[in-house]
Structure 1
Amino acid sequence: MLASAGVKSRSRFAIALTLAVGLGAWLIWTSIGGSLETYTNPSGLVKTTDATTYRLNGTVAPGSPADAAERAQTAEGLRFTVRDKDRPSVTVPVAYRGSVPDAFKDGREIVVTGHMENGVFQAERGTLITLCPSKFMEEQAAKGKTMPDGMPKEPAGT
C-alpha cells in the first residue's frame, strides 16, 4: 500500500510540474509576442508591401502643419512626412489620428507605430512619440550648428 501511495504522489507531482512549466512557457510566449514590433526607418519601408506592424523612426520633414494637434483629431487626420535620418532624400508619408505631443514640429525626431498601406504609413492612434534632443545637442543648436540629422535648428529663445 505504501509503494502505491508513493507512485501516486510522484505522478501527481510530475503532472503538476508539467502544468506549471507549460503555463510558464505560455506566459513568456504571450508577453514576448506582443512586443516584437520591428523598428525601422523610412529607407526600410520604401519597398515594403506587407501589412507587418513597424515602429517607424525618423525626423519630421519640413512642411508639417502648424495646427497638427487640431488636424490629428479630425476625420481626415494629420498627414506629414517622415525623413530618414541617415538618408535625408528618403521619405515616407504618414497618416495619423490621435493626440499629438507638444514637441511635434519640423525637424523633430519621432517614433510612430503602424503599417504601410498603398504607399502611406498608416499610424495607429496614440502611438506618436517625439524624441527630445539631448542637452548637448540643444547647446550646439544654440551656437548655430546643425544637428546630426543635418537640419539647422532654431536659435534658442524662438
Structure 2
Amino acid sequence: MGNDAATEVLEPQECWELLRSVSVGRLAVWLGDRPDIFPVNYAVDHGSVVFRTGTGTKLEAALGDYPVAMEADGVDPDTGVAWSVVLRGKAVPLKNIDDVVQSFSLPLFPWEAGHKDQFVRIPADSVSGRRFTVTAPLTWWTPYSGTKPSRGE
C-alpha cells in the first residue's frame, strides 16, 4: 500500500471545522510578476475567512486583480496525523460600516504589533483539504540524503 492510499480527502464541512481549530495560516498572493506568501492571523466567518492587516504590500497584493489562496495546517504530535486545508477566493475589503463593526467581534489577534485597521474577507470559491499520517524520516531517507554535490554538479 503506497502513501497515496493513506491520504484522506476531506469534505468541505470538515475543512471548515479544521480552519476554525487554528488561527494562523499562509496567504498566497500574486505580487507584480511573482507569487508571494504572508502569514496571517484569521477567523472563519460565514463561509469565508477574515484577517486584519495594515496598509502595505500584503494588503495591496491581497486586494489586487487576482484571486488569492490561503492554507492552514496542523499535526497531532501524539498520533502523527496531519492535515492541510486550502481555501481559494477573491479577497475583498470590509468597507460597509456594519461589516466592519461586526468584524470587531471576531477573534483576530495579530502577532505583530502595529496599526492593523484594514479588514479583509476571502469568500471561499473553493475549499479543499486532506489528512494523512506523517511518514517517519527513515522511510524517505536515503544514503545520499544530506550529502553535498561535487563541484561539477
Q: TM-score range by the shorter chain?
A: under 0.3
Q: Which has the larger radius of gyration?
A: 1
TM-score for both structures, normalised by structure 2: 0.26
TM-score of the superposition, structure 1-length normalised?
0.25
More RCO (CA 8 Å, sep 6+): 2
Bigger proportion of residues as strand: 2
Give 1 or 2: higher helix fraction: 1
